[in-house]
Amino acid sequence: MTYGIIQIVLFLSVVLLLVKPLGWYMARVYENKPCGLDRILGPVERAIYRLCGVNPANEMGWKRYTVAMIAFNAAGFVVLYALMRLQGFLPLNPQHFPPVAPDLAFNTAVSFITNTNWQAYGGESTMSYLTQMLGLAVQNFVSAASGMAVLVALIRGFVRRNSRTIGNFWVDLTRSLLYILIPLSLIIAILLASQGVVQTFKPYPTATLVEPVVVDGNSFAEQTIAVGPAASQIAIKQLGTNGGGFFNANSAHPLENPTPLSNFLEMLAILLIPGALCYTFGKMAGDTKQGWAILASMVIIFIGLLALCCWSEQKGTPQLVSAGADLQASSTQSGGNMEGKEVRFGIFNSALFATTTTGTSCGAVNSMHDSYTPLGGMVPMWLIQLGEVIFGGVGSGLYGMLAFAILAVFIAGLMVGRTPEYLGKKIESYEMKMASLVILLPIFLALVGTAVAVATKAGQAGAFNPGPHGFSEILYGYSSATNNNGSAFAGINCNTPFYNITLAIAMLGGRYLFKILMLAIAGSLAAKKFIPTSAGTLSTSDPMFVILLISVVIVVGALSFIPALALGPIVEHLMMIGR
């Protein structure tokens, strides 16, 4: 227990220590100021613009920016879909995988361009090396960069005055990739490889088992070990909060996440950019306190829910106790509910990974969330349902949180007797319309998606588990897809046309409608004049505002999902403890 807490404290300290330097660096990148790397990469950047015929000085209004972003993502979809359908005819397919089925290819392509990385397939038994590298890994980079671009455009909306433009999408995309995502993932990939994460183009090797295993009456003396160019893809999978594992078992797989140190690095990679972007936001807005206030709200909710998850998992279940299991933590065992968890990670590093991966829109897993205790499993589910704003996805987490901040400012602004303003920009009916839709959209998609699934034969057919837990699995699936997380409560067969298509719709709506609304806010804010602050202005960087922002996030999340959660994990918990 104590070691677990020490590890969590250590982890969060390292994350917070890196916020300022990386945040500062990213602000320099987006403000187009010298950042160090530009001396080496500047010519590359300019060559890219020349090659693509982009004039970096050509600023875009929010509508053009949106069109560019959508067009770019649509092109990515087409390429990825084609790669999966044609992989049988293409090189780098040592296992000779056949083309991916149309509905699965559609679902997977949508999943990767939307930064969701929901996987209705097992990587090592479906995708060729070429598909993984040229298709999935590329989308891991560019979907993350798209999210960061939208955030930067929104920040410009706050910063600019009486402006019709919010930046150039191509420039924001290129700079995100070139100066931030590629260098960082290079470092992480090398570090991961040093820990034993596999990186190879060779076909799957075969190993002779020490003693033969008998399964269903058949005796096996050999095992095929799935390998591939994993380390390079896992680095960006974590950094870009994508979460799509190279292997089916994701970061629980020993070749994807072999050691406690690699686990630490992978968790760090998830929170690194979303956390640091808060500082970037403050820096670009000219008041770093604004960024710290947002980050503080995230960290507080994060710690609260992490504590609940750790507590519930460490406590285990009364059923295990009555079956004679020893749930006590000791120097030789983690204790608690170890079902679905890796022994090398134990309770705390599994719960921490689960909280990290669902607070952000990453969705990589190092343990099976489905096997968590009801309350322990509710934590990841609810973090997703909060809208992926507790750190959140790269870019998307912060712009989602800023939508909540706009909502908080609106109510609080009224309570201090002023029409609301945030960072010197008046929040009027247009912003409220967009921010309200931003809040409404994911709730609508997740709940209606679940409703359709539980009410139709096609949806019910996929569910294997009875009772509240089966319901939780479906609810988790649609929440995860809508909010572009990508992790899953297993236990439902979601590789069916019904789930592949409905979940893809949820992913597309959750990603692009959200982004369009945020860009509309950015455009509207940029055109506004700036209002100077006074003692009568509501401070958006003091503890009072942090409390308010936390309350708004929690209350909106609770009010929208508590009835559904009551029929899932809450009642499951009550039944488990024998009420």
Partner 1 sequence: MSSIAKGKKLFDWAIVRPAILDSFCKLSPRRQFRNPVMFVVLVGSVLTSLLFVQALIGKGEAGPWFILGISFWLWFTVLFANFAEAMAEGHGRAQADSLKKARRDLVAKKLSNPRRDSSLEMVLASLLKKGDVVLVEAGDYIPIDGEVIEGVASVDESAVTGESAPVIRESGGDRSAVTGGTRIISDWLVIRVTAESGNTFLDRMIAMVEGAKRQKTPNEIALTILLAALTIVFLVVCATLLPFSYYSVLQAHQDQSRVVTITVLVALLVCLAPTTIGALLSAIGIAGMSRLSQANVVAMSGRAVEAAGDVDVLLLDKTGTITLGNRQATEFIAADGVSMEDLADAAQLASLADETPEGRSIVVLAKQQYNLRGRDIEKLGAKFVPFSAQTRMSGVDLDGRQIRKGAVDAIEKFVISHGGVTPDKIRQMSQKIAKSGGTPLVVADGAKALGVIHLKDIVKGGIKERFGDLRRMGIKTVMITGDNPMTAAAIAAEAGVDDFLAEATPEAKLELIRRYQAQGHLVAMTGDGTNDAPALAQADVAVAMNTGTQAAKEAGNMVDLDSNPTKLLDIVQIGKQTLMTRGALTTFSIANDVAKYFAIIPAAFALTYPSLNTLNVMGLATPNSAILSAVIFNAIIIVFLIPLALKGVKYRPMPATQLLRKNLLIYGVGGLIVPFIGIKLIDMLLVVLHLV
Q: Which residues bind partner 1 (CB under 8 A)?
A: 407, 410-419, 424, 427-429, 431-433, 436-437, 439-440, 443-444, 447-448, 450-452, 454-455, 460, 466-468, 470-471, 529-539, 542, 544, 547-548, 551, 555, 558-560, 562-564, 566-567, 570-571, 574-575, 579
**Closer CB to partner 1, 85 or 418, in the complex:** 418
| Structure token digits, residue 56 | 């970096």
Closest CA to 274 of 359, 201, 173: 359
CB of 300 to partner 1, least distance (A): 17
Phi/psi at 479 (5° precision): -60, -45
> Which residues pair with residue 219 across a beta bridge?
214
CB of 514 to partner 1, least distance (A): 14
CB of 472 to partner 1, least distance (A): 11
**Closer CB to partner 1, 351 or 443, in the complex:** 443
Asked if 532 and 336 count as a contact pair (C-beta separation under 8 A), the reply is: no
d(CA 136, CA 540): 39
| Residue type (1 letter), 367 | S
In angstroms, the first-to-last Cα distance of the chain is 28
**Closer CB to partner 1, 12 or 432, in the complex:** 432
* 3-class secondary structure, 466: coil
**Closer CB to partner 1, 128 or 483, in the complex:** 483
Q: DSSP secondary-structure letter at 229?
A: B
CB of 65 to partner 1, least distance (A): 24
What H or E segment, with its residue span, contains residue 396?
helix 396-415
Residue with tokens 């109510």: 411
| Residue type (1 letter), 49 | Y
**Closer CB to partner 1, 36 or 563, in the complex:** 563
Burial class (CB in 10 A: 0-12, 13-18, 19+), 355: buried
d(CA 490, CA 311): 22
CB of 360 to partner 1, least distance (A): 24
Alpha carbon separation from 306 to 8, 12, 135, 453, 557 (Å, rounded): 10, 12, 34, 30, 16
| Structure token digits, residue 138 | 């590329």
CB of 554 to partner 1, least distance (A): 10
**Closer CB to partner 1, 283 or 469, in the complex:** 469
**Closer CB to partner 1, 344 or 433, in the complex:** 433
CB of 506 to partner 1, least distance (A): 14
The distance of Cα 512 from the centroid of its chain, to the nearest Å, equals: 15
CB of 540 to partner 1, least distance (A): 10
**Closer CB to partner 1, 30 or 489, in the complex:** 489
- Based on C-alpha coordinates, what's the Rg of the chain? 23
**Closer CB to partner 1, 410 or 422, in the complex:** 410
The distance of Cα 325 from the centroid of its chain, to the nearest Å, equals: 35
Q: What angle do CA 343, 300, 515 make, to 5 degrees?
A: 95
**Closer CB to partner 1, 225 or 575, in the complex:** 575
**Closer CB to partner 1, 75 or 415, in the complex:** 415
| Structure token digits, residue 226 | 């799935």
Closest CA to 120 of 388, 512, 565, 486: 486
Residue 574: CB partners within 8 Å, gap ≥ 6? none
Asked if 541 and 435 count as a contact pair (C-beta separation under 8 A), the reply is: no
Q: DSSP secondary-structure letter at 524?
A: H
Alpha carbon separation from 346 to 1, 3, 336 (Å, rounded): 10, 11, 9
CB of 148 to partner 1, least distance (A): 27
CB of 418 to partner 1, least distance (A): 5
**Closer CB to partner 1, 180 or 445, in the complex:** 445
d(CA 233, CA 83): 17
Q: Please count the residues of the chain.
A: 579
Phi/psi at 393 (5° precision): -70, 165
Max CA separation in the chain (angstroms):
79
CB of 293 to partner 1, least distance (A): 13
**Closer CB to partner 1, 270 or 443, in the complex:** 443
CB of 406 to partner 1, least distance (A): 10
CB of 496 to partner 1, least distance (A): 18
d(CA 470, CA 491): 8
CB of 434 to partner 1, least distance (A): 10
**Closer CB to partner 1, 45 or 431, in the complex:** 431
Phi/psi at 316 (5° precision): 70, -155
